[in-house]
């Protein structure tokens, strides 16, 4: 099966919406791989699977394990590794950690949060042949409060400048998180690379959500998340029925035991 490439992603800008979701495990990656253009091995794993309060607590060694599982299971989707907090504080540290990630996981690209402040780091990585996805707007690794961005002229100007700087630094795509609709549209129209929105309107070139939020497995319910199912209820019902069958001695039945 032919895998999706950066060329394929770039060609979709302004033509065909790009589909993206997060994955941290083999079963989820195998499902998402059938439909999504991009799978993000997100640092959101810390909050979703480990009960951490922020993404800043995620360690690179932990995320590498998830990255291996996802990349080994994805045959079609383009897999992006979310570089954890403090793993790219300067270009030399960034390159060292990114090399470790790429060698260990075989992921197709990495994602870094930030705008103009990290442009030199991104330029250094891309010159070394590392594919990089940018991330602007709300930055979970550095934001203490979850707030909509771009509500005033100063923020709009700063975020647009960040987007332009990233676009010129060599990134192949930019995630825009939690910004007002008009700003997301302006950024998408202004930059040459595809934009991937999360809480940033239909005007972006693509969309991404945390899969566990989208399927109703998490308790995170921001305005921008659409719940396509309620997996938590399905699991709870299954567990309840399982325990009930045991108490009533209905499980294991004759079909669930071995006889000679």
Averaged over 211-223, what is the pLDDT?
93
Helices 153-167/119-127 angle, 10° precision = 20
Average pLDDT, rounded, for the chain = 97
Q: What is the pLDDT of residue 2?
A: 80
- Smallest CA-to-CA distance from 98 within 140, 71, 130, 69 is with 130
Same domain, 166 and 243: no
Distance CA 9, CA 60 (A): 26
pLDDT at 191: 98
Flag whether 196 is in a domain. yes
Please check whether residue 88 lies inside any domain of the structure: yes
Whether residue 1 has pLDDT greater than 70:
no
Whether 129 and 163 share a structural domain: yes
Q: Note whether 236 and 163 are same-domain residues.
A: no
Q: Average of pLDDT values for 220-226? A: 90
Does residue 158 or residue 221 have the better pLDDT? 158
Whether residues 223 and 244 fall in one domain: no
CA–CA distances in Å: residue 124 to residues 78, 172, 186, 213: 22, 14, 27, 34
Kindly report the number of other CB atoms within 10 A of residue 183's CB atom.
Answer: 23
163 plus 66 within the same structural domain? yes
Query: What Rg do the C-alpha atoms of the chain give, in angstroms?
Result: 20
Task: Give the range of the structural domain holding residue 128, as residue numbers without chain letter.
Answer: 6-229
DSSP string for 147-189? --B--SHHHHHHHHHHHHHHHTTT-SEEEEESB-HHHHHHHHH
Q: Give the per-residue pLDDT at 145.
A: 82
243 and 150 inside one domain: no
Contact criterion met (CB below 8 Å) for 134 and 172:
no
- Distance, in Å, from the CA atom of 128 to the CA atom of 106, rounded to the nearest integer, reads 16
pLDDT of residue 59: 98
> CATH number, domain at 199?
3.20.20.60
End-to-end Cα, the chain, rounded Å: 44
Same domain membership, residue 184 and residue 174: yes
| Residues with Cβ within 8 Å of residue 141, at least 6 apart in sequence | 43, 55, 56, 84, 85, 113
Strands (E) in 38-83, as ranges, are 38-41, 78-82
| Residue 1 lies inside a defined structural domain of this protein | no
**Active-site residue numbers?**
177
* Overall average pLDDT of the 127-145 stretch: 95
5-19 pLDDT tens trace: 999 999 999 999 999
Query: Within this chain, do residues 51 and 148 fall inside the same structural domain, yes or no?
Result: yes
What pLDDT sits at residue 60?
98
At 210, list the tokens.
């945390």
Whether 175 and 243 map to the same domain: the answer is: no
pLDDT digits (tens, 9 = 90+) for 67-126: 999 999 999 999 999 999 999 999 999 999 999 999 999 999 999 999 999 999 999 999
Reported pTM? 0.97
Is the predicted pLDDT of residue 185 greater than 80, yes or no?
yes
What is the average pLDDT across 26-48?
98
Structurally, how many domains does the chain consist of?
A: 2
Residues 129 and 251 in one domain: no
pLDDT at 143: 87
pLDDT value at residue 109: 98
């Amino acid at each position: 099966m032919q895998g999706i490439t950066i060329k394929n992603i770039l060609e979709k800008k302004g033509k065909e919406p790009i589909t993206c979701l997060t994955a941290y495990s083999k079963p989820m990656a195998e499902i998402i791989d059938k439909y999504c253009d991009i799978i993000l091995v997100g640092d959101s794993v810390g909050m979703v699977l480990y009960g951490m309060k922020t993404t800043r607590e995620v360690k690179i060694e932990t995320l590498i394990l998830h990255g291996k599982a996802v990349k080994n299971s994805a045959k079609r989707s383009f897999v992006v590794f979310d570089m954890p907090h403090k793993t790219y504080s300067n270009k030399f540290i960034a390159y060292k950690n990114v090399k470790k990630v790429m060698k260990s996981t075989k992921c197709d690209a990495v994602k870094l949060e930030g705008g103009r402040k990290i442009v030199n780091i991104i330029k250094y990585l891309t010159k070394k042949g590392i594919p990089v996805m940018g991330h602007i707007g709300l930055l979970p690794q550095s934001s203490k409060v979850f707030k909509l961005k771009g509500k005033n002229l100063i923020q709009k100007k700063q975020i647009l400048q960040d987007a332009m700087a990233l676009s010129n630094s060599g990134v192949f795509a930019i995630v825009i998180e939690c910004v007002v609709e008009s700003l997301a549209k302006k950024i998408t129209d202004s930059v040459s690379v595809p934009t991937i929105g999360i809480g940033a309107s239909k005007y972006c070139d693509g969309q991404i959500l945390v899969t566990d939020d989208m399927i109703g497995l998490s308790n995170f319910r921001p305005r921008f998340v659409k719940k396509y199912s309620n997996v938590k209820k399905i699991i709870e019902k299954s567990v309840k029925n399982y325990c009930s069958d045991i108490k009533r001695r209905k499980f294991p039945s004759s079909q669930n035991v071995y006889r000679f």
